[in-house]
Amino acid sequence: MHATLESGAVLDKTVELCETLVNQPDFVALQRNVQAFLADDAAKRLYQTVVEKGEHLHHKQHEGVTLADAEIAEYDRHRQALMLNPVAKGFMEAQEQLQQIAEGVNKYIHKTLELGRVPGPEDFESCGSGCDCHH
Specify the amino acid at residue 56: H
In a domain, 31, yes or no: yes
Contact 87, 40 (CB under 8 A): yes
- Does 1 map to a domain? no
Evaluate whether residue 40 is within a structural domain. yes
pTM value?
Answer: 0.76
Residue 8 lies inside a defined structural domain of this protein = no
**Cα separation, 45 vs 25, whole angstroms:** 29
Residues in the chain: 135
Is 3 part of any domain?
A: no
User: Is residue 134 situated within a structural domain?
Assistant: no
Amino acid at 119: P
Q: Is 29 part of any domain?
A: yes
Enclosing domain of residue 62: 18-121
CATH number of the domain bearing residue 36: 1.20.1500
Number of domains in the chain: 1
Mean pLDDT for back-to-back runs of 10 residues, the chain (135 residues): 70 93 94 97 97 96 94 96 97 96 94 92 74 52
Q: CB-based contacts of 107: which residues, under 8 Å, 6+ apart?
A: 124
Task: Let me know: does 81 contact 46? Beta carbons within 8 Å.
Answer: yes
Residue in 72, 86, 73, 81 with CA at minimum distance from that of residue 49: 81
User: Is residue 42, in this structure, part of any structural domain at all?
Assistant: yes
Q: Do the Cβ atoms of 17 and 105 come closer than 8 Å? A: yes
